[in-house]
Structures are given as C-alpha cells and as structure tokens.
Amino acid sequence: MMDKKVLGVLAAVTLSIGVAAPASAATAPGYDLLTMGHGTKTLGIAYVDNNYSGSRIEFRGESCNSDKEDIPDYQFPLPEKYRWTISSVQNLTASCQMGLRNRNGDRLLVGSEPQLGSWNDQTVTVQFS
C-alpha cells in the first residue's frame, strides 16, 4: 500500500497535467479540419461535401466593417488541397456577407448553402465583407 504522501504527489501531478479530451465528430478519422485567419469568431465554414459534411475549413476573424461590398474585410485564398473542392458553406455571422470567388474572379454571395449547384467544386477564394 502506498503512503499518503506518494498518493498526494500523484494526485497533484495528474491534476496539473490534465486528462485528454475525447475526439469530437468534427475531427473524426478521415476528415480534416483546417482553420484560417485570426480572431475570436468563426465567420463561416466551407465543407468539401454537400449538406455540411466532410472535411471543412473554418474562417476566423472579427466583425466586418467595410461599407463597400466589393472590398472584402477578410479574404482567404484556399490552400491548393481545397481549391475546387467546396460543396457547401455556412455563413455564421450576421455582420458579414460571405462571398465565393471562382478561378475567373466571378463572385457568388452565399448564406448557409447545403449545396452550391453550379458553383460546386468551383471556389478558389472565400471572402467576408
């Protein structure tokens, strides 16, 4: 039997290290989670599959301040791995408009879209203004 002093030290070490949290469904095996930008808010999320599923990219920032729709407050060119793979998106903030740009520079304003129709797998840049 361990003495009380050893048990006390073990308890203190365990509390200071903490316990690992279980993996969530958002980072389930086989799916990637990429975070782009800095800030305290998730402005929006882009998914590689329809219906808000599959690997995803979370776009972070603060409030949008631009009064000009064509000048974004935040612009996120997608990493090569995610260009031409986006199939659904969610705009999570009322203070920003979420826009998608394709390789031709065309722009589509979106909200929460479980499917992107003709814009499926066309996005190269995500913007918030």
Q: Output the pLDDT for position 31.
A: 84
Please report whether residue 33 resides in a domain: yes
Please report whether residue 3 resides in a domain: no
Asked if residue 77 lies in contact with residue 101, where contact means CB atoms within 8 angstroms, the answer is no
pLDDT in tens, 64-90: 886 666 678 999 999 999 999 999 999
Of the two residues 3 and 127, the one the predictor is more confident about is 127
Residue 91: which domain range? Answer: 26-128
Q: Output the pLDDT for position 1.
A: 45
User: Edge-to-edge strand order for the sheet containing 107-110?
Assistant: 74-77, 123-128, 98-102, 107-110
- pTM recorded for the entire structure: 0.75
Q: Which two tokens stand for residue 84?
A: 């031409």
Structural domains in the chain (count): 1
Please report whether residue 123 resides in a domain: yes
CATH of the domain at 107: 2.60.20.10
pLDDT classification of 18: cutoffs 50, 70, 90: very low
Q: Please give the share of the chain, as a percent, with pLDDT higher than 70.
A: 74
Please report whether residue 21 resides in a domain: no
